């Protein structure tokens, strides 16, 4: 399996705090059947500052240790970028790192809302040849209330990634239901761990794929796994327009 969103780099952010933690995470990933991981430390969010070259060098160092320890996992560089006004300028200046230097960029929305400039920002990214991949939209409060916001972004060329723990119910019943709704309605394109450690924020990726298979069947499992392959190698992902197959009922009623 491929995990396209993971905080495994040592000392980079709120994920692995040391090289020993990174190795422990890699061993846990290997036991779960994950062989390739995109390291996606937070780019900047007020607490962390992970520049492109720093991420590339740290990824190279971690891969060296994984080879020394004979852990059968390969790490690829990336960033999780919280959207901000100068993102496109920083992309042009070479500070922003899409997944494995491809056209796919993991972008994070604020937890409570969707900024008004988001559509314009996504459009400007696409003009630069970048496809925005919205991470964990199922946990954004405004999208929880108004899922058509996400549908509109996808209609305009964005993609989205569901967190494995959301699908397995670890973030609660409401988040699991919304994750299933998004998948059913063609509004999700990737499943990733967003793992930070091996205890409270582990991988759960194989469990998530089991849930996906139970709810939707093998073709859906193939779809999400293939998309991860395509992303990592920089190939085009043929996303179909969202289709309303499953009603979005309010998750905020008592």
CATH code: domain of residue 104: 3.20.20.140
> Is 3 a residue whose pLDDT tops 50?
yes
169-207 core/surface letters (b: 16 or more CB in 10 A; e: else): bbbeeebbbbbbbbbbbbbbbbbbbbbbbbeebbbbbeb
**Which residues constitute the domain of residue 113?**
2-233
- Write down the pLDDT at residue 132: 98
Residue 184, token pair as written in the block: 């059913």
Residue 188 lies in a domain: yes
What is the overall mean pLDDT for the chain?
Answer: 94
Taking the whole predicted model, whether its pTM rises above 0.85 is answered as yes
Helices 118-127 and 148-155, interaxial angle, to 10°? 20
Residues 128-144 have a mean pLDDT of: 97
Residue 245 lies in a domain: no
Range list of H helices, the chain: 19-32, 52-68, 87-92, 118-127, 141-145, 148-155, 164-168, 173-184, 205-216, 218-233
Residue 212, token pair as written in the block: 């996906």
Q: Residue 12 carries which DSSP code?
A: S
Give the pLDDT confidence of 191-210 residue by residue, as tens digits: 999 999 999 999 999 999 99
SS3 6: strand
Structural domains counted in the chain = 1
Helices 173-184 and 205-216, interaxial angle, to 10°? 60
- Write down the pLDDT at residue 254: 32
Give the separation between CA 38 and CA 41, rounded to whole angstroms: 10
Residue 249 lies in a domain: no
Tell me the CA distances in angstroms from 90 to 96, 103, 128, 143, one per residue in order.
6, 15, 12, 27
Residue 223 lies in a domain: yes
Q: Half-sphere exposure of 50 toward its Cβ, with a 13 Å CA cutoff?
A: 29
- Write down the pLDDT at residue 112: 94
Residues 56-78 have a mean pLDDT of: 98
Give the separation between CA 239 and CA 104, rounded to whole angstroms: 13
Residue 33 lies in a domain: yes
Residue 44 lies in a domain: yes
Residue 116 lies in a domain: yes
Residue 140 lies in a domain: yes
Percent with pLDDT over 90 in the chain = 91
Residues 42-57 have a mean pLDDT of: 91
């Amino acid at each position: 399996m491929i995990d396209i969103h993971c905080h495994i780099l040592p000392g980079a952010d709120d994920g692995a705090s040391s090289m020993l933690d990174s190795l422990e995470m890699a061993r846990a990933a290997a036991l779960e059947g994950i062989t390739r991981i995109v390291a996606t430390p937070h780019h900047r969010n007020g607490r962390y500052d992970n520049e492109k070259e720093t991420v590339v060098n740290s990824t190279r160092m971690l891969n060296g240790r994984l080879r020394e320890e004979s852990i059968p996992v390969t790490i690829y560089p990336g960033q999780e970028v919280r959207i901000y006004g100068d993102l496109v300028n920083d992309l042009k200046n070479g500070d922003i790192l899409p997944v494995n230097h491809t056209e796919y960029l993991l972008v994070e929305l604020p937890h409570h809302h969707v900024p008004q400039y988001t559509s314009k920002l996504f459009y400007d990214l696409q003009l630069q040849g970048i496809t925005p991949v919205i991470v964990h939209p199922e946990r954004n409060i405004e999208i929880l209330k108004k899922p058509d916001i996400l549908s509109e972004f996808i209609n305009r060329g964005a993609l989205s990634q569901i967190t494995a723990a959301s699908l397995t119910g670890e973030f609660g019943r409401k988040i699991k239901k919304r994750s299933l709704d998004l998948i059913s309605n063609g509004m999700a394109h990737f499943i990733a761990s967003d793992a930070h450690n091996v205890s409270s924020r582990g991988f759960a990726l194989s469990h998530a794929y089991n849930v996906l298979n139970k709810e939707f069947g093998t073709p859906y499992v193939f779809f999400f796994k293939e998309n991860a392959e395509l992303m990592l190698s920089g190939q085009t992902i043929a996303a179909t327009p969202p289709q309303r197959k499953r009603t979005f009922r309010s998750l905020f009623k008592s």
